Amino acid sequence: MYFVYILSNWSDSVLYIGVTSNLSRRLYEHRNHLADGFTKKYNVHKLVYFENTNDVHAAIAREKQLKGWRREKKNALISKSNPQWIDLSRNWE
């Protein structure tokens, strides 16, 4: 299983799009700043959207597609399934 996911910061002003085969582990890494980069610099770790597929190539293609979208279109995608932009992983673990 592969996941394409969108993270935001506490004020929903920054978005990060990624792909992983283990969403729980990847979220742990983002939240605990285990890798230098964008999410660590901007404190981006609120899961606001994700989708899954069994095809790694489809996941990578979808990630690239979403990264190419304008912010308004990304916002609409998130709002359609998560209108309040809550952290979808808040009760995980």
Q: What share of the chain is helix, strand, coil (3-state, %, to 5)?
A: 40, 25, 35
pTM of the predicted structure, to 2 decimals: 0.94
- pLDDT attached to residue 35: 81
Percent of the chain at pLDDT > 70 equals 99
pLDDT in tens, 38-61: 999 999 999 999 999 999 999 999
pLDDT at 93: 60
Could you tell me the domains of the chain?
2-81 (3.40.1440.10)
pLDDT tens digits for 3-14? 999 999 999 999
Residue range 66-77: mean pLDDT, rounded: 98
Name the one residue in this structure whose structure tokens are 């990630």: 63
Does residue 92 surpass a pLDDT of 80?
no
